[in-house]
Amino acid sequence: MLEKLAPQKPDALLALIKLYAADDRADKIDLGVGVYRDNQGNTPVFKAIKAAEQRLFDTQDSKSYLGPEGDMGMVCGLLGHILGEDLAKDLTIDGLQTPGGTGAVRLAADTLYAAGARRIWLGTPSWPNHAPIFTASQFEVLTYRHMDVATQSLDMEALLSSLYKAEDGDVVLLHGCCHNPTGVDYTAEQWAHIVEIMAEKRLFPLVDFAYHGLGQGFEEDSAGLKTVLARLPQAMIAYSCDKNFGMYRDRVGALYAVAQDDAVMATTKSNMAALARANWSMPPDHGGAAVRIILDDAELTQMWRDEVAEMRSRMRWVRDTLAAAGTAGSVDFAPLATQNGMFSMLPLSPEQIQALRDDHAIYMAGSGRINIAGLTEGNIGKFIEAVAAVSG
Ligand code: LMR
């Protein structure tokens, strides 16, 4: 049986972690996988998480099963931060905990497939795992160009023409904020326009919300999602705490559904729970419990939000510093100041990306995506010079 399997290449993004680790040049720079780094290049555990984990250690008296929903205290506690307390109360919304944002996207795909959806529209480039997840869930993946990498501008025309071509019941994946991999988000007017067409064409929105708080601020980053929920009767939101709580390897996420009434909501939730049970039975608890402890405590919540604000402003500093450098060789850094979050995508050829790795020990995804947080006061000058050297 097993001999019939075709070999698979390791995930290119995750493979970069190993390649970088094996490089012994002291001045190497990691701009690969999406992990936040501070100005010293470290990825420390959040202080709020450390405090919550200590409390969990001191007080947890059982590790018995919670059920497929996971930690509902965490799931409900996040809602006020995602939507604001008022909207969270007004909407018919429910959710469950998932293993990271990836688990949330996969469970959304399985639930939507069970509901009869068969096609999903993805703007490309997108997170490289999006298409494989939907393909694994039996979807037909249809694409349009999200951004013109050369000009660093959103291709709104491609998006709108795809929405007009889409059919009743098609799913559209929208990045809530901090688009991965381009950093190019929609303006308020563009969100309104997109949502209007989706309402007209009866398209289903799945909002991937993995970088909440890391763009312009918690409230600002939710604005597009709120536009969606104000106009469309149903939606799903795949939320990740991996970045904004720094829980990467602990895999903390949530999937929410919004429905027009309680009956549809209850049936939807029962399907989500049944599919979760068939996929992973129940999510790992530790990370979700730590997030819940933070959200239940005003002081820890403030500590967490301050830590996210610090990350956000450091990444803004990187963007502004690159933009102030202007051009490096053929690369214009100016547009990066208008983009958001952890990623931008540079117009570099595969040969130039390889030369950055071979000649300058700079590691980035083969697509030209850079992790903004990999740049520090200590290495940003070297990075700008290296880009000039390979692209000049
Ligand atoms: C990324 O895009 O680098 C992260 O979301 C990590 C991952 O799972 O791909």
Cα-based distances in Å from 282 to 65, 129, 238: 8, 22, 17
Q: In the structure, which protein residues have their CB atom closer than 6 angstroms to any atom of ligand 1?
A: 13, 33-34, 127, 129, 180
**Candidates 243, 269, 285, 304; catalytic one:** 243
pLDDT tens digits, 20-63: 999 999 999 999 999 999 999 999 999 999 999 999 999 999 99
Q: Measure the CA–CA gap between 240 and 208, rounded to whole angstroms.
A: 8
Ligand 1, from 14, 20, 127: best to mutate by most atoms within 8 Å of Cβ? 127
DSSP codes of every residue in 4-51: GPPP-PPPHHHHHHHHHHH---TT-EEE-SS----TTS--PPPHHHHH
Judge whether residue 73 has pLDDT over 90: yes
Going from the Cα of 35 to the center of ligand 1, the distance in angstroms, rounded, reads 8
Does 127 participate in catalysis according to the annotation? yes
Q: CA angle 357-147-242, nearest 5°?
A: 65
Helix (H) or strand (E) holding 225: helix 223-231
Does 243 participate in catalysis according to the annotation? yes
Structure tokens at 116: 């009869």
Judge whether residue 85 has pLDDT over 90: no
Judge whether residue 363 has pLDDT over 90: yes
Judge whether residue 361 has pLDDT over 90: yes
CA-wise closest residue to 222 among 121, 120, 78: 78
Q: Tell me what pLDDT residue 234 has.
A: 98
Q: Measure the CA–CA gap between 356 and 190, rounded to whole angstroms.
A: 36
Which single residue is written with the structure tokens 């289903």?
204
Q: 3-state DSSP call for residue 74?
A: helix
Nearest ligand 1 atom to the CA of 180 is 2
Counting Cα atoms < 13 Å in the Cβ hemisphere of 52 gives 27
ipTM of the complex: 0.94
- When pLDDT is averaged across residues 267-287 and rounded to a whole number, the result is 97
Judge whether residue 102 has pLDDT over 90: yes
pLDDT tens digits, 204-225: 999 999 999 999 999 999 999 9
Judge whether residue 13 has pLDDT over 90: no
Judge whether residue 76 has pLDDT over 90: yes
Judge whether residue 88 has pLDDT over 90: no
**How confident is the prediction for the chain on average, in pLDDT?**
97
| pTM above threshold 0.95 | yes
pLDDT tens digits, 175-207: 999 999 999 999 999 999 999 999 999 999 999
Amino acid at 134: F
pLDDT tens digits, 108-140: 999 999 999 999 999 999 999 999 999 999 999
- When pLDDT is averaged across residues 7-15 and rounded to a whole number, the result is 89
Going from the Cα of 34 to the center of ligand 1, the distance in angstroms, rounded, reads 5
Cα-based distances in Å from 260 to 92, 208, 225: 7, 20, 16
- The CATH topology of domain 10-45+300-391 is Aspartate Aminotransferase, domain 1 (3.90.1150)
Judge whether residue 86 has pLDDT over 90: no
**Candidates 71, 94, 110, 208; catalytic one:** 208
- When pLDDT is averaged across residues 5-16 and rounded to a whole number, the result is 90
Q: Tell me what pLDDT residue 374 has.
A: 98
Q: Tell me what pLDDT residue 205 has.
A: 98
Evaluate whether 27 touches 361 at the Cβ level (below 8 Å): yes
Evaluate whether 121 touches 170 at the Cβ level (below 8 Å): yes
Q: Tell me what pLDDT residue 270 has.
A: 98
On the question of a common fold for 10-45+300-391 and 65-296, the answer reads no
Residue nearest to atom 4 of ligand 1 (CA): 34
Ligand 1, from 35, 129, 370: best to mutate by most atoms within 8 Å of Cβ? 129
Going from the Cα of 371 to the center of ligand 1, the distance in angstroms, rounded, reads 10
Evaluate whether 258 touches 91 at the Cβ level (below 8 Å): yes
CA-wise closest residue to 124 among 180, 205, 185, 196: 180
% of the chain beyond a pLDDT of 90? 95
Domain definitions of the chain by residue range: 10-45+300-391, 65-296
Please enumerate in sequence order all residues whose Cβ is within 8 A of that of 169, keeping only pairs 6 or more positions apart, or say none. Answer: 116, 117, 118, 202, 203, 204
Q: Tell me what pLDDT residue 11 has.
A: 86
Does 242 participate in catalysis according to the annotation? no
Residue nearest to atom 5 of ligand 1 (CA): 34
pLDDT tens digits, 297-348: 999 999 999 999 999 999 999 999 999 999 999 999 999 999 999 999 999 9
Please enumerate in sequence order all residues whose Cβ is within 8 A of that of 52, keeping only pairs 6 or more positions apart, or say none. Answer: 289, 290, 291, 293, 294, 297, 300
Question: How, if at all, do strands 369-371 and 204-209 pair?
Answer: unpaired
CA-wise closest residue to 95 among 77, 80, 76, 82: 76
- When pLDDT is averaged across residues 241-262 and rounded to a whole number, the result is 97
- When pLDDT is averaged across residues 248-257 and rounded to a whole number, the result is 97
Q: Tell me what pLDDT residue 231 has.
A: 95
Residue nearest to atom 6 of ligand 1 (CA): 34
So what CATH class is 65-296? alpha beta
Judge whether residue 392 has pLDDT over 90: no
